[in-house]
Amino acid sequence: MTLTKNDLRRHLSGQFNADLDAIIDRVQTMGQLVLDQLRDALGALERNDGELAVQVVARDTEVNRLELGLDEACRDMLVQRQPAAGDLRLVFAVIKVVMDIERMGDLAKRVAKAALKSAGTPQQRFGGAIASLGASVLSLSDKALAAFVAFDGVAAAAIKQEDRAIDEQCKEITAELQLFIAAQPGSTGGALQLIWAARSLERFGDHAKNVAEHIFYAVYGKEIRHMSDEERAQWLTVD
C-alpha cells in the first residue's frame, strides 16, 4: 500500500492527522538544526574558527532535547491512537528517522571537535577536499530531509547513488591523508583529525541515506536497502 499525504487525509482520524503533522514539523525542525550544525562545523574547519566549533558542540544539547520530545510524542501516538497497517508503518518510520537525525547531530559535533584540533599544514593542504566532501553530504542530506517531509518515495529511491559517490570521496581523502602522514610524521596529529572529520562526514551521509530508506518503506511498504541497482531503478519513475 502506497501512502501520500492526501491518503492520510482520507483514512486517518482528524486528531491522528493533526498529531502526525505536528510531529513531522518537529522532525523537520530537528533535521534543519542538524544540517545547520554541520554547515557551521564545516565553516569552523575551513576558517579555523574555534569559537564557532564550540557553539556547534554546545548545540548538540538542543538536538538531544528534540529527540527526547519526539520519542515521547511518538510513544503517545502509539498508545492513544493505536495505528494499524500503513499508519503504524509510518509512525515507526518517523521513530527511526528521529534516531538517525540524532546520530547525524553527534557526527556534526565530531566534525566541530576535529576543527578545534586540526589547524596547520594538513588543513591548508586538504581543506578544499574536506569542504567538497562536506558540500556533497549536505546536498544529499537536504534531499533526504525534503523527501521525508514530502513523503516522496521516488526522491528517496534516488539518494543511494549519491551516497556511493560520497563513500568514494571519503576513501580518496583518507588514502591521501595516510600518504601525507607517512611523508610528514610531524603533522600526524592534525592529519588524523582530518581523517576523523572525513569519516564523520561519510557516516553523516549514511544516516541521511537511512532517512531516505525509512520514508521509502513508509510510502511503499518495501525495503530498498537490499534491492539491486536494477530493482531500485524501477522505482525512480513511479508516479
Closest Cα partner for 157 from 53, 232, 76? Answer: 232
Place of cell 510524542: 73
CATH, residue 187: 1.20.58.220
- Give the pLDDT band of residue 237 (cuts 50, 70, 90): low
Distance, in Å, from the CA atom of 225 to the CA atom of 222, rounded to the nearest integer, reads 9
| Residue 221 or residue 214, greater confidence | 214
Cell readout for 2 is 502506497
Q: How many domains does the chain have?
A: 1
- Residues spanned by the domain of 25: 5-237
Q: Convert 132-191 into a string of H (helix), E (strand) and C (coil).
A: HHHHHHHHHHHHHHHHHHHCCHHHHHCHHHHHHHHHHHHHHHHHHHHHHHHHCHHHHHHH
Q: Across residues 79-100, what is the average pLDDT?
A: 86
Joined together, the cell numbers standing for residue 70 give 519526539
- Whether the per-residue pLDDT at 83 is higher than 80: the answer is no
Q: What's the pTM?
A: 0.89
Q: Quick one: which of 20, 157, 153, 205 has its CA closest to 94?
A: 20
Contact assessment for residue 127 and residue 197, using Cβ atoms and an 8 Å cutoff:
no
Q: How far apart are CA 103 and CA 33, in angstroms?
A: 13
Mean pLDDT of 20-47: 95
What per-residue confidence (pLDDT) applies to 221? Answer: 85
Per-residue DSSP letters for 87-125? HHHHHHHHHHHHHHHHHHHHHHHHHHHHHTT-TTHHHHH
What is the C-alpha to C-alpha distance for residues 45 and 178, in angstroms, rounded to an integer?
A: 19
> With bands split at pLDDT 50, 70 and 90, how would you rate the model's confidence at 121?
low
Round the average pLDDT of the chain to a whole number and report it: 88
Lowest-confidence segment of 10-19, 58-67, 77-86, 229-238 by average pLDDT:
10-19
pLDDT top residue among 180 and 6: 180
Mean pLDDT of 83-112: 91
What would the mean pLDDT of 110-139 be, rounded to a whole number?
88
One-letter amino acid at 194 equals L
Q: Which residue in the block uniquely carries the three cell numbers 536494477? A: 230
Amino acid identity of residue 151, one-letter, is F
Burial class of residue 65, CB neighbours in 10 A (0-12, 13-18, 19+): exposed
Find the helix packing angle between 188-220 and 121-150, rounded to 10°: 10
Three-point CA angle 198, 217, 231, nearest 5°: 80
